[in-house]
């Protein structure tokens, strides 16, 4: 018994229907289903749920799908991009199931997402039960809905549309040929999209072709064979190009809002039109679908006085500082002691080694010395070589501006002393390093930068020379350090 026939012709540029026959009859879509499978995968990739390079582990369920299939083995891994190619070009059922499980964890959960997406696209008479399109009770669609889906695949994700025109492609395990290559090769301007066949569905095809500025999408359900189906699609394509105007403003379909992997952002809210509806009229209800918010503005904090730190927290901070200072002093003592030991082994006098040990306790200063204010009565010596003018009073000399080209970059340099998993660890490392290298880091700004991979501990506000010297001294202490330039 032949499968029921349905057909639809649409001008892709504005969505105008140019011809339809049984277009709203619910029929078996077969592998036209994979257009929705791939649409959901493209959405997931674009929104960062998964990448084309993600390695997907193949389940026993996916590997056991009947042909057409890529030949995936249970337990093996393969990149997502190869599964996408196999599903789009070869119409591989095992690849479609593997994609569904990779995105949603199970084929059932993925089918629910397919149905949510179908409703968002305006596919009002479609119900999906699986990701591959094999015949299953209740798994039905229409020629109209599949034409709408084909148009969205074309315009919503144009960066992936070239997959559907490839005559063959490498799918990881092997090179696979396109199931629609006969129509692609025979019809001028054809560049997609998807074939489908099961005994219940017959030979189905959603095709698209472009000639000049015109683009037509055709869907046929219930063909008797590949040859007769392709002939019918070509006939409807010719009809579409005859009816479509040469000049038409492009009005792309509206891309539905991203609802997230589990549609947590889609909440239905019933809003009554009146709080006190009259008895003579029925209150209207509005069904609002709220899309998931990708990003939101951060609210500004209310200006309040900063609370004083609790005494316990202040005591904790003081203890941390004391412990870090003690740790630095201990390291310096150990370093000098090691130096003394080396001197002793090298045959240096005992007095030299003992002097090195005694000086260990004095190596870590408790505070940076405060610079002495220059006396106002201090008279600077003249740099002039002219002996005749050296004794001339200051009032007789002309002011002279001396300039030079700075090669240090000013105090716009810095150093990085490591990346840490928490802000506290980074601040502790900065404090420890500052106490250990007071002479070179005095006056610098300790700064913790929160990045994608952790917290960077930086000293900023140094000259190039100071940054270079500090890094060399820290590296001599086996501390990781690199310079940060003005840029």
Place of tokens 């009005």: 251
Check residue 273 and give its pLDDT: 35
- The pLDDT tens digits along the chain (487 residues) read 678 999 999 999 999 999 999 999 999 999 999 999 999 999 999 999 999 999 999 999 999 999 999 999 999 999 999 999 999 999 999 999 999 999 999 999 999 999 999 999 999 999 999 999 999 999 999 999 999 999 999 999 999 999 999 999 999 999 999 999 999 999 999 999 999 999 999 999 999 999 999 999 999 999 999 999 999 999 999 999 999 999 989 999 999 999 888 765 444 433 333 333 343 434 444 444 444 445 555 566 666 655 555 565 556 666 666 776 666 666 655 665 665 566 556 555 555 555 555 554 454 455 556 666 666 665 555 544 444 444 444 455 555 555 444 454 478 889 999 999 899 999 999 988 888 888 888 888 999 999 888 999 999 988 988 888 999 888 888 888 988 888 6
Active-site residue, from 59, 68, 91, 444? 91
| Nearest one of 225, 205, 209, 227 to 217, comparing CA atoms | 209
91 is catalytic: yes
| Nearest one of 404, 397, 373, 372 to 383, comparing CA atoms | 397
How far apart are the C-alpha atoms of 8 and 148, rounded to whole Å?
A: 10
Cis peptide before 68 (omega within 30 of 0): yes
235 is catalytic: no
- Quick check: 211 and 189 in contact, CB under 8 A? yes
> CA 144, 147, 150 angle in degrees (round to 5)?
155
31 is catalytic: yes
Which tokens is 87 given? 């599903």
- Quick check: 91 and 179 in contact, CB under 8 A? yes
How far apart are the C-alpha atoms of 48 and 249, rounded to whole Å?
A: 33
What is the three-class DSSP state of 198?
strand
Q: Which residues make beta-bridge pairs with 57?
A: 77
How far apart are the C-alpha atoms of 238 and 63, rounded to whole Å?
A: 41
Backbone angles phi, psi at 375, to 5 degrees: -60, 140
Cβ-count burial 125-138 (b if 16+ within 10 Å, e if not): ebebbbbbbbebee
Active-site residue, from 34, 69, 194, 432? 34
Check residue 164 and give its pLDDT: 96
> End-to-end CA distance of the chain, in Å?
74
How far apart are the C-alpha atoms of 352 and 173, rounded to whole Å?
A: 73
Check residue 41 and give its pLDDT: 97
136: Cβ contacts below 8 Å, ≥ 6 apart = 129, 130
Cβ-count burial 7-45 (b if 16+ within 10 Å, e if not): bbbbbbbebeebebebbebebbbbbbbbbbbbbbbbbbb
Distance, CA of 254 to chain centre: 24
Active-site residue, from 31, 68, 141, 208? 31
């Amino acid at each position: 018994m032949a499968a029921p026939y349905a057909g639809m012709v649409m001008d892709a540029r504005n969505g105008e229907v140019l011809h339809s026959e049984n277009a709203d009859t619910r029929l078996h879509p077969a592998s036209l289903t994979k257009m929705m499978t791939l649409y959901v995968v493209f959405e997931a990739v674009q929104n960062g749920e998964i990448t084309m390079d993600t390695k997907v582990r193949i389940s026993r369920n996916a590997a056991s799908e009947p042909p057409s299939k890529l030949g995936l083995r249970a337990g093996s891994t393969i990149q997502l991009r190869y599964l996408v190619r196999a599903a789009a070009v070869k119409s591989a059922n095992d690849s479609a199931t593997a994609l569904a499980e990779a995105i949603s964890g199970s084929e059932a959960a993925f089918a629910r997402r397919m149905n949510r997406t179908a409703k968002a696209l305006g596919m009002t008479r479609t119900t999906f039960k699986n990701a591959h399109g094999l015949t299953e009770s209740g798994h039905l669609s229409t020629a109209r809905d599949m034409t709408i889906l084909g148009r969205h695949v074309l315009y919503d994700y144009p960066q992936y549309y070239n997959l559907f025109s490839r005559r063959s492609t490498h799918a990881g395990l092997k090179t696979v040929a396109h199931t629609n290559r006969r129509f692609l090769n025979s019809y001028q301007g054809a560049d997609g999209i998807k074939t489908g066949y099961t005994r219940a569905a017959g030979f189905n095809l959603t095709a698209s072709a472009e000639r000049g500025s015109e683009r037509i999408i055709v869907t046929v359900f219930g063909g008797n064979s590949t040859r007769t189906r392709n002939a019918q699609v070509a006939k409807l394509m010719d009809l579409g190009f005859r009816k479509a105007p040469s000049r038409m403003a492009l009005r792309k379909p509206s891309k539905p809002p991203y609802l997230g992997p589990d549609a947590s952002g889609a909440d239905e809210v019933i809003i009554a039109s009146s709080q006190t509806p009259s008895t003579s009229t029925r209150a209207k209800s509005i069904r609002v679908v709220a899309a998931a918010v990708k990003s939101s503005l951060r609210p500004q904090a209310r200006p309040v006085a900063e609370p004083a730190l609790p005494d316990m927290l202040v005591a904790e901070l003081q203890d941390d500082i004391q412990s870090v200072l003690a740790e630095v002093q201990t390291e310096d003592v150990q370093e000098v002691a090691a130096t003394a030991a080396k001197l002793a082994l090298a045959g240096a006098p005992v007095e030299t080694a003992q002097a090195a040990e005694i000086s260990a306790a004095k190596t870590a200063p408790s505070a940076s010395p405060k610079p002495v204010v220059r006396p106002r009565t201090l008279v600077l010596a003249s740099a002039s070589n002219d002996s005749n003018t050296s004794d001339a009073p200051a009032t007789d000399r002309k002011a002279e501006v001396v300039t030079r080209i700075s090669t240090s970059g000013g105090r716009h340099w810095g150093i990085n002393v490591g990346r840490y998993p928490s802000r506290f660890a980074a601040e502790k490392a900065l404090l420890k390093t500052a106490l250990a290298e007071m002479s070179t880091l005095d006056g610098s700004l300790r700064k913790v930068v929160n990045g994608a991979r952790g917290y960077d501990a930086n000293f900023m506000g140094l000259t190039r020379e100071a940054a270079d010297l500090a890094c060399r001294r820290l590296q001599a202490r086996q501390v990781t350090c690199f310079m940060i330039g003005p840029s």
